[in-house]
Structure 1
Amino acid sequence: MDQTTPHTRLLGKLEVNTEFGLFLGDTRIRLLKEIDRHGSISQAAKHVPMSYKAAWDAVDAMNNLSEAPLFDRTTGGKHGGGTKLTEYGRTVIHLYQALAEQYQSSLDRLAERMRDLEGSDIREFQSLLRRMSMKTSARNQFVGSVTGLREGGVDFEVRLRIDPENELVAVITRESAEYLDLRIGGEVHAFVKSSSVLLLTDPAGRTSARNHLWGTVSRIHHSAVNSQVTLQLSAGKTVTAVITH
């Protein structure tokens, strides 16, 4: 008796690595839609659903990786303020939806071809995808253009402009610089762990840190052991620090 294996459809969740960086995914797009619908991050978080803190973290991450503001925030006023999407934010949603449709169509076609592959081939392919997926625990992620490269004996100093007013300086190994193929004007990502951020209230305060980013405190989240402090920078960027009590 001839038996056939039931065909299972492949369903994909799209993450988009555009020129703006890896910042678009299914959950974040749902958050954008709910913010546009409700005009409130707290209400949007309830409908996604996700925690209020996770929603704010996602908003900060997307704004930091975007070339233009995704959100228009207002404070005070008759209705107590809120958050709305900019036209650019709505364009991002439409872009993602169009790509997601094409992505699913491609998966459907791939599934048809994979029916002829042996099981070991499929497992090897899945293993390769897992190895190629990049994840980072760094809380602060920035994208910008390289404005300066200075070669040292064993390392490179890299200057990165993240917005019209702020630059970051990083020191990396020669091997890393060659691997990344760094060039003036090229686009790169900078990752900064929140535990590595120092907070000062006096602009004249002395510190050995090379990178100084000045902003206003926009949010504080307290826990039993530490507090997460988020600073609002220019051009909608944010930087978050974790400090112990």
Structure 2
Amino acid sequence: MSTSSQPPRLLGELKLCTEVGPFLGDTRIRLLEAIDRLGSLSQAAKSLPLSYRAAWDALDDMNNLAESPLVIRTTGGKQGGGTQLTPYGRQIVALFRAMEAEYQQTLARLQQALPKPDPAGGPAEVRDLRRLIRRLSLKSSARNQFIGTVVAMRTGPVDFEVSLELDDRQQIHSVITRESAESMGLQLGGEVYALIKSHSVLLVTEAGLRLSPRNQLWGEITRIHNGPVNSEVVLALPGGKHLCAVITRGSVDQLGLTEGMAACGAFKASAVLLCSHD
């Protein structure tokens, strides 16, 4: 008895991206849902499965790019601490799932409107769409990614200094060329992405010490990941954002860095790369 095979379904994965790369996707949403269900980052990571460090990094990225923290971390107490979604985080998860449902319905309607597949390689519209999506997927190697509002601009003969407000307590300053500023069309009140490589961040623990870097962000050390030569140190900043620095293991020992210690992440204005909307 012969059977006719059903045509393949047009399916897609919804992913919300910023100018500097992915912000929310299925894996991150499932991580948030698992945290909300289990109240523990380590248990949530295991349930996906996802490495603990990858889960930490994902939470840091989401909190840095979101207008409000999506998760909060608690320590101590009768329950021994844990990780919880904020009300804003729950709203984001619900919104994403609603958008995802609409997205799949749109794909189903699109498939009905497409011409019959070409045995030689499929509909040209689908191939063009796939190429376009790949071109629009912009990723950055910078470990630190922030969104800020342009609150000040100072022009010079060659350089152009831009001040970004992350929130009412923190600012980041960047120095770029006048040509770059003009091509980006920077304006006061505009939203700009700031990228800082972790190797450009210096760590200081002594308050009141005079430093030459223009940017100095104080926070609390929440994680130290030691490698054979270098160590990755993550600072929790006010407002739920995080700053990552990569320094030598010798520097970690010399400074006596430990989790829970206050520290300052300092980096030059010239080390801040700016990205803006089209």
Indicate the SS of the match to 1:214.
strand
Aligned match of 2:73: 73
TM-score normalized with structure 2 length: 0.79
- The residue aligned with 1:231 is 235
Gaps of 5+ in 2: 250-278
Instruction: Report the AA paired with residue 155 of structure 2.
Output: E
Deviation of 1:47 (Å): 0.6
Q: 1:40 to 1:124 in 2, by over 3 A?
A: same
Q: Bigger relative contact order, structure 1 or 2, given CA contacts below 8 A and separation 6+?
A: 2
Indicate whether 1:169 and 2:188 are aligned: no
- Opposite residue 35 of structure 1, the aligned amino acid is I
Q: SS of 2:140's equivalent? A: coil
SS in 2 for 1:236: coil
Does the CA-based 8 Å contact 2:60-2:242 persist in structure 1? yes
The change in CA–CA distance for 1:103 and 1:229 in structure 2 (over 3 A counts) is same
Inter-CA distance 12–205: structure 2 relative to 1 (3 Å threshold): same
Which residue does 2:253 correspond to in 1? none
Mapped partners of 1:101, 1:152: distance in 2: 50
After TM superposition, the structure 1 stretch with the greater mean CA deviation from structure 2, 124-133 or 52-61, is 124-133
The answer as to 2:44 corresponding to 1:44 is yes
User: Which of 128, 144, 148 pairs up with 1:144?
Assistant: 148
Q: Give the match's secondary structure for 2:204.
A: coil
| TM-score for the superposition, normalised by structure 1 | 0.89
- The offset of 1:226, in angstroms, is 1.5
Amino acid in structure 2 at the alignment position of 1:79: Q
* CA–CA separation in structure 1 for the residues paired with 2:64 and 2:88: 14
Structure 1 distance, partners of 2:205, 2:109, is 57
Name the CA shift for 1:160/1:22 in 2 (closer, same or farther; >3 Å).
farther
Shift of 1:196: 1.1
Change over 3 Å in CA distance of 1:121–1:104 after alignment to 2: closer
- Residue 39 (structure 1) shift: 0.5
Q: CA RMSD in A?
A: 2.3
Residue identity opposite 1:39 in structure 2:
G
| Structure 2 partner of 1:10 | 10
1:142-221 superposed matches below 5 A: 142-221=146-225
Partners of 1:178 and 1:10 in 2: CA distance: 42
| Structure 1 residues 111 and 177: alpha-carbon distance in aligned structure 2, compared to 1, 3 A threshold | farther
Per-residue deviation at 1:17?
A: 4.0
Percentage of identical aligned residues:
55
- Partner of 2:203, secondary structure, is coil
Partner of 1:96: 96
- SS of alignment partner, residue 218 of structure 1: strand
What is the identity, as a one-letter code, of the residue corresponding to 2:147? V
Q: Is the 8 A contact 2:159 2:177 kept in 1?
A: yes
Q: CA deviation at 1:206?
A: 3.8
1:224 is paired with a residue whose SS is coil
Structure 1: tracts of 5 or more residues without a match: none
Aligned length: 241
